[in-house]
Amino acid sequence: MRLFTAIALPTPIISALSTLQGSLAGVTWNRPNSYHLTLRFIGEVRNYALMNDIDLALRRINASAFDITVQNVGIFDQANQHKILWAGVAPCKALEHLNRKVEQALRNLDLPMPRKRFYPHITLARTQNIHNDKLAQWVQTYNLFSLPPIRITQFSLFSSHSLEDNPYYIPEVDYLLH
């Protein structure tokens, strides 16, 4: 089972982000019900004992609820010409603290470390064949995108699945923040 930890987004954020759907032609927009804020990608886990250990380690995390603010948009340019359109999250010490706690809990299980540093974002779409000028224009048009702060009270362990090249994610276990 392919696993990752993330924050499932509250309905007001999903609704607001879904207004960006279709704002750039020629990209593959993610379904709004798949929007999430990844904390840590874990990867393929087939060992039931390891799945149980992951769950127990995440249950032990003690962190406080906090507010996040979704703001601005951008593009990650992957080496293979695959580009990701995203909405960003304002710097938040409590979110960074939660990410560190998740990292530490999983590091203790000898899971591979992530190759990239934590950059909180919500993936909106993917593309391979859009000219950079159009992408830059999209970023310029929506770079002031901002939502009011919203309270985050839990994070989840998700499983990732694919159906006809369309990923979908299932929250397997929720972990409350205090």
Mean pLDDT of 29-54: 95
- Comparing CA positions, the residue from 96, 94, 100, 76 lying closest to residue 86 is 76
**pLDDT band at residue 2 under the 50/70/90 scheme:** very high
28 neighbors 125 (Cβ within 8 angstroms):
yes
Quote the pLDDT of residue 164.
Answer: 73
Looking at residue 141, its pLDDT comes to 97
Distance between CA atoms of residues 158 and 42, nearest Å: 10
CB atoms within 10 A of CB 97: 13
What does the pLDDT average to over 4-9?
Answer: 98
Across residues 85-95, what is the average pLDDT? 98
Q: Which residues, 6+ apart, have CB-to-CB distance to 174 below 8 Å?
A: 8, 154, 155, 156
Query: Can you tell me whether residue 54 is helix, strand or coil?
Result: helix
Which residues have C-beta within 8 Å of that of residue 93, sequence separation ≥ 6? none
The C-alpha atoms of residue 22 and residue 41 are separated, in whole angstroms, by 28
Torsions phi, psi of 62, nearest 5?
-115, 105
Query: Which pLDDT does position 116 carry in this prediction?
Result: 85
> At 175, phi and psi to the nearest 5?
-125, 120
Q: What is the pLDDT of residue 68?
A: 98
- CATH C-level class of 2-176: alpha beta
Residue 78 has pLDDT above 80, yes or no: no
Rounded distance, CA 111 to CA 50, Å? 10
Res 4 pLDDT > 70: yes
Using the predicted structure, report yes or no on whether residue 82 has a pLDDT greater than 90. no
